[in-house]
Amino acid sequence: MTPSAKSILIVEDEPTIAQILLDYLKKAGFAPAHLEDGREALETIRRQPPDLVLLDLMLPGMDGLSLCSQVRSFSNVPIIMVTARVEEIDRLLGLEAGADDYICKPFSPREVVARVTAVLRRMAPAPFLLQPSLVEIDLEGQRISFGGKRLDLTPTEYRVLSLLAARPGRLFSRAQILDLAYPEDEDVSDRIVDSHIKNIRKKLAAILPEADVIHSVYGIGYRFEV
């Protein structure tokens, strides 16, 4: 372990799974620690925040969802939820819980290491934060410019792109994007999100041919990354 090893707090009540995660993360150069109880984890994160939390959904003491939303009231520490329930993903990533990413059980330890690495990299200052002139979101005029070139967006496309671009690296589900793009209409299919994204990509490609900034996550949604 190097002094700069990133600390990962594993909150998991199944000892076998916890041990596998500890072993793999250690081998990958991280400094993992393990807690079984949700309440204890909350206190630890408050007292000594780790670089990332790997959080099981079903826990004694306090479940992962409540724990995640309580942590969000005082910290932006990256949180990856581990869940066997795919139908929970929207809630986990939503404002209610505020997780940064999720991993479905059963998982391969290798996948966990890859995901932890990716989330930590994403949380590092994004290139476009270092050069704010690349993306400009004009909230008042509802306009977005890339590299000084203005995109000609419909109001809905503006809402979709500004949501994604304001949180680079964050994964948004189609349902979340839809809630925002059609706040008053509950009857639209979430597939319409795909066509908005397609149009936005086309417009982006016209002004920035090399930029591939909207990434699809199969079956889930989209994230903005430069």
Residues that bind Ca ion (CB under 5 A): 13, 56, 58
Whether the Cβ atoms of residue 140 and residue 205 lie closer than 8 Å to each other: no
The token pair at 82 is: 């581990």
> Which residue, 67 or 135, is less far from Ca ion as judged by CB?
67
Q: Give Cα 216 to chain centroid, integer Å.
A: 13
Report the nearest approach of Ca ion to the CB of residue 33 (Å).
Answer: 17
Report the nearest approach of Ca ion to the CB of residue 63 (Å).
Answer: 9
Report the nearest approach of Ca ion to the CB of residue 82 (Å).
Answer: 8
Report the nearest approach of Ca ion to the CB of residue 25 (Å).
Answer: 18
Query: Distance between CA 9 and CA 31 in Å, rounded?
Result: 9
Whether the Cβ atoms of residue 220 and residue 128 lie closer than 8 Å to each other: no
Report the nearest approach of Ca ion to the CB of residue 105 (Å).
Answer: 9
144 strand-pairing partners: 137
Residue 157 φ/ψ, nearest 5 degrees: -60, -35
> Which residue, 53 or 165, is less far from Ca ion as judged by CB?
53
> Which residue, 58 or 175, is less far from Ca ion as judged by CB?
58
Q: Cα dihedral sign for 6, 108, 82, 189?
A: positive
Residue 174's H or E segment, with its range, is helix 174-181
> Which residue, 21 or 165, is less far from Ca ion as judged by CB?
21
> Which residue, 13 or 37, is less far from Ca ion as judged by CB?
13
**Residues with Cβ within 8 Å of residue 123, at least 6 apart in sequence:** 52, 78, 100, 169
Query: Distance between CA 128 and CA 42 in Å, rounded?
Result: 32
Residue 104's H or E segment, with its range, is strand 101-104
Report the nearest approach of Ca ion to the CB of residue 36 (Å).
Answer: 9
Q: How many CB atoms lie within 10 A of CB 172?
A: 24
> Which residue, 35 or 193, is less far from Ca ion as judged by CB?
35
- Nearest residue to Ca ion, scored by beta-carbon proximity: 58
